Amino acid sequence: MHPDQQMAYDRASTVFSPDGRLFQVEYAREAVKRGTTAVGLRFKDGVVLIIDKRISSRLVEARSIDKIFKMDEHAGCATSGLVADARVIVDRARLECQMHRMTYNEQISVPDLVKKICDLMQNYTQYGGIRPFGTSLLVAGADGQGTHLFETDPSGALMAYKAASIGAGRNAVMALFEEKYKEDLTLEGAIALGMEAMTKATEGQIKLETVEIGLVQAGEGFRKLEPEEVTARLGKGK
């Protein structure tokens, strides 16, 4: 398509191009691809999320940057893309969790929570005057149906994975997972494989002090590991 023709279709998220594309949604995906690398892996009895904060200056306080969020006692997420957009989605997800608990006196299931998140994201592709969310999430959780790992897309699509990645270097990470991932991984094995993938995606530029890890296991709640525990586990993985 000639650039001048494309310009006519990429000014609003509600206008389809003749070949059925929504350019604003595709641009939002590009924002995610430029974001920090995040990986998620299911292991024998849980799910682990790992993300590199990618601090660009030694003057930045690493603890001031959050890219792994707790949504409810049993679910959390890692984000890539525009962190401010992700924060809005996380706030809405927390509200949905509380509303479900107040209405039904039980935790919302992880698949239902992800669907509600994706309904919100899809709404922002359907109306004029708003833009799609420039972020994707890896959602990890455990409920009565087992453990779950989902990936969301700026279009509002969702997909369940055994191992997944978002952000820069996704293709390299997924290629490694295709080769080495096994469903019977232990927690230590999942963290080791996740860190190997992160190192490959960042071409060895990852620093332990900028790594965040989130963890959920069957029968236990979601939690974000403290920096000291992250250092200890990564040292143990070596």
Instruction: List the catalytic residues.
Output: 36
Phi-psi group of 34: left, alpha or beta (phi > 0 → left; psi -120 to 50 → alpha; rest → beta): alpha
Whether 62 and 55 have beta carbons less than 8 Å apart is answered as yes
Side by side, the strands of the sheet bearing 135-143 are 68-72, 75-81, 135-143, 146-152, 158-160
Whether 158 and 151 have beta carbons less than 8 Å apart is answered as yes
Q: CA nearest 222: which of 169, 118, 143, 158?
A: 143
Whether 197 and 39 have beta carbons less than 8 Å apart is answered as yes
Q: CA nearest 140: which of 70, 47, 43, 73?
A: 47
Antiparallel, parallel or unpaired: β 38-43 and 135-143 = unpaired
CA dihedral 47, 38, 89, 71 (to 10 degrees): 30
